Amino acid sequence: MASRSVKLAQLFGIRIGADPSWFLALFLIILLLGDRFGAVLPDESSSTHYVLAVAAALLFFGSLVIHELGHALAARAFGIQTLGIDLWLLGGVARLSRDARSPKEELVVAIAGPLGTVLAGAICVGVGVALQDGTTLVDAALLREGADDPLLALFGWAATVNVVLLAFNLIPAFPLDGGRIARAIAWKATGDRRRGTVVAGWLGRVFAVLLAVYGLVVLMGGDAIGGIWFLLIAWFIGGAARAAVVTSEISEQLHAVTAAELMETQPAWVPTTATAIEAEEEAFAPFGVPWAALVDGEGQLRGLLPAERVREELNAGRPGTPVIELAPDVEPPRVSPEATLEELLADARLRELGALPVVDATGVMRGQVSFRRVRDALAEALPGVEPARG
């Protein structure tokens, strides 16, 4: 979905986009609401009815964006980046860079979305109350015939939609927010994220079946659009719930392996007291590596020494140049021994450099983990992933 997304806006540094299916949803909502506003406001022109329908559709999708921004901003507080927010046929989704790492993170991020919906609904209710004059906000919210204020009908309908969105999202069925809240609670109670996900996933599956049955009843009752809509939502929830359980099981396998288990304990390294010729003879010529770690007498990592830089000095006739002068004057990249396989796979530096020093909390280098070894470990953990070649 993200690759086909059309950018609509940028809010709080987060890209807001729309999947092509969103344009279909926008068209259908405008078409249906145009007729509905025509029945509620018979004294207004047809152009007014469809202007209201367009405004209502924009308010609806604006409410979805506020909802997803709630998730995104809460996630940001935990260091989770948002890759983007996308609107699509069945709603909106905030694409986060990683899953929650604790029940607290899961709970706070899950609750933040409904709180955004409460905010959006409160704004609509506030505007509606201010516009009340003869027709009540309740009448407008239900789009009852006889309403005489187009703006009140518009904001009343938007308030109702936010109430429905809030109630629907709080249903304890994954991947709805209520299901994520249920997962956080089960995760906290069991101390096991996988078990929490399984509980929430099964709740999602059960709800999807019930919703599909309801959709079939609506469809057989003659409401083709409503029935198909409920069936689509049931299909989405059921698929997402199954995928969540599978993904959780995979994630558990990726968390079970750490850099300490994958690292080479005797990699090529160079003491900070060495010269260019010593580095070439002791590290680069024997091992053929593109860089080597610079380590002081206490085992502390002091930098990464490029083989290319050493050979430039040798070619220039300066074999006695201290290697400490050749390393880039920047903080060297590293990973901790506790870094999981999942974290290593997501580390762009590992892919770029081919390997990274493994350094403990005291700054002592314990070994080196290579991208090839990470790929091999992934192949061992997951079926269908080929080990690194070449």
Asked whether residue 136 is domain-assigned, the answer is yes
Burial bucket for residue 255 (CB in 10 Å: 0-12, 13-18, 19+): middle
CATH number of the domain within which 311 lies:
3.10.580.10
Burial bucket for residue 89 (CB in 10 Å: 0-12, 13-18, 19+): middle
Q: Domain range for residue 202?
A: 196-255
Whether the CB-CB separation of 357 and 294 falls below 8 Å is answered with: no
- Is residue 234 located within the same domain as residue 337? no
Flag the least confident range among 155-159, 262-266, 306-310: 155-159
- Is residue 84 located within the same domain as residue 132? yes
User: Residue written as tokens 């729309």?
Assistant: 18
- Is residue 161 located within the same domain as residue 295? no
Half-sphere exposure of 243 (CA within 13 A, CB side): 7
pLDDT of residue 154 exceeding 60: yes
Give the CA dihedral 146, 152, 154, 160, nearest 10 degrees: -90
Q: Based on the structure, what is the number of domains in the chain?
A: 3
pLDDT tens column, 60-83: 999 999 999 999 999 999 999 998
Mean pLDDT, residues 371-384 = 76
Mean pLDDT, residues 118-126 = 91
Mean pLDDT, residues 196-209 = 86
pLDDT tens column, 1-57: 445 789 999 999 999 999 998 898 889 889 888 888 887 777 788 888 999 999 999
Per-residue confidence band for 136, with pLDDT thresholds at 50, 70 and 90: low
- Is residue 235 located within the same domain as residue 91? no
- Is residue 265 located within the same domain as residue 241? no
d(C-alpha 53, C-alpha 48), whole Å: 8
d(C-alpha 146, C-alpha 345), whole Å: 61
> Taking Cα atoms as reference points, which of 199, 210, 207 lies closest to residue 244?
199
Q: pLDDT > 70: what percent of the chain?
A: 90
- Is residue 34 located within the same domain as residue 130? yes
Q: What is the CA radius of gyration of the chain?
A: 29
Asked whether residue 239 is domain-assigned, the answer is yes
pLDDT of residue 132 exceeding 80: no
Whether the CB-CB separation of 135 and 126 falls below 8 Å is answered with: no
pLDDT of residue 87 exceeding 60: yes
- Is residue 158 located within the same domain as residue 17? yes
- Is residue 12 located within the same domain as residue 160? yes
Other CB atoms within 10 Å distance of the CB of residue 11: 14
SS3 labels along 258-293:
EHHHHCECCCCEEECCCEHHHHHHHHHHHHCCCEEE
What pLDDT, on a 0 to 100 scale, did the predictor assign at position 2? 43
pTM: 0.62
Average pLDDT for the chain: 86
> Taking Cα atoms as reference points, which of 266, 263, 299 lies closest to residue 372?
263
**Measured CA distances, 216 to 158, 163, 176, 376 (Å):** 27, 25, 21, 47
d(C-alpha 374, C-alpha 354), whole Å: 10
Whether the CB-CB separation of 141 and 156 falls below 8 Å is answered with: yes
Among the candidates 255, 271, 287, a domain finishes at 255
- Is residue 224 located within the same domain as residue 137? no
Among the candidates 255, 271, 298, a domain finishes at 255
- Is residue 78 located within the same domain as residue 214? no
- Is residue 228 located within the same domain as residue 123? no
Other CB atoms within 10 Å distance of the CB of residue 362: 8
> Taking Cα atoms as reference points, which of 123, 14, 22 lies closest to residue 69?
14
Q: What is the largest CA-CA distance in the chain?
A: 94
pLDDT of residue 144 exceeding 70: no
What pLDDT, on a 0 to 100 scale, did the predictor assign at position 272? 95
Among the candidates 207, 229, 255, a domain finishes at 255
Whether the CB-CB separation of 218 and 232 falls below 8 Å is answered with: no
Other CB atoms within 10 Å distance of the CB of residue 199: 21
> Taking Cα atoms as reference points, which of 103, 102, 100, 71 lies closest to residue 86?
71
